[in-house]
Amino acid sequence: MQRVLITGGAGFIGSHVTEALLARGDEVCVLDNFNDFYDPAIKRANAEAVKAAGARLVEGDIRDAEGMARLFTEGNFDAVIHLAAMAGVRPSLLDPLHYEDVNVRGTLILLEQIRKREGLKFVFASSSSVYGANEKAPFSEVDDIHRCISPYAATKRAGELHCFTYHHLYGIPISALRFFTVYGPRQRPEMAMHKFVRMTLQREPIPMFGDGSTRRDYTYIDDIVDGVVRSLDHCEGYEIYNLGESQTTSLAEMIEIVGEVCGIDPIIDRQAMQPGDVVITYADISKAKRRLGYDPHTTVRDGLSRFVEWYRQQLG
């Protein structure tokens, strides 16, 4: 049994990870500030569910240094899974200073607390966006990445570098996880799959940026949770892991599958490519397989079928 702090624990990925840890007997403290990046009522509903399952819930902000000091003292944690962040490539272009403040300064405040306490493990949620305009695919953790093309990506890469610095200076065990386009039940409503399913069911036009040939490595939430838990259990030294499905689907193919799963022909609104978007994301997961036993297996069609079933249940 471990005492685990999960920042952003009321969010999409965080609530699922919380449930997984509670189910195996860990004590979990969920920290969230319930900001209005999307409807806070969604996160509050997630929070009530994990609280009912046994999690402790704390409303607070990772940028509050004094509040974090009190929380770490009271919690006596064994590990921190840091999922709290300002998310999204396109919104980061509009408010880069806020993204820097939350994603970089907030991470540093947590690392400062961890370095004062012996033995704490740190799992840091990074992103496949750090690969930026990488021309080599699939993407490997050993690739030379120096071409981030959005403020969001730059903040996540900065977080990885700060993590390595704190591991080097203070010996903190750290797993940095590069997530590849996570989807599934409770997904944020502005994310592509959630938005496309909603628009298809409501017979609204789906914006397709570019010619539909851009490809993403879509990763189902259950597979991501498995990778996060494994990275916690194998957290030692400083390691970066890709967590993806290791298969790619084009935007046009994904929209087609959405239509098939929903039983409705999508209406497509063709638009220009957006600044900050990359042509492809594609995870080389050989390291995570070898070291963690990570073995994702959910196809996009299966994952979307589960998501649509959940979405329809939410509609009542």
Average pLDDT over residues 286-311: 97
**Nearest CA among 75, 67, 78 for reference residue 109:** 67
Give the pLDDT of residue 316: 67
Residue 289 included in any domain: yes
With a CB cutoff of 8 Å and minimum separation 6, the contacts of 148 are 129, 130, 132, 154, 157
Query: What residue numbers bound the domain in which 167 lies?
Result: 3-180+220-244+284-296
Q: How many domains does the chain have?
A: 1
Give the pLDDT of residue 272: 87
Q: Kindly name the residue from 38, 99, 131, 152 that is annotated as catalytic.
A: 152
Give per-residue pLDDT as tens, 237-248. 999 999 999 999
Is residue 152 annotated as a catalytic residue, yes or no? yes
241 and 179 Cβ atoms separated by less than 8 Å: no
Give per-residue pLDDT as tens, 25-75. 999 999 999 999 999 999 999 999 999 999 999 999 999 999 999 999 999
Give the pLDDT of residue 279: 85
Give the pLDDT of residue 134: 83
Residue 278 included in any domain: no
CATH number, domain of 38, equals 3.40.50.720
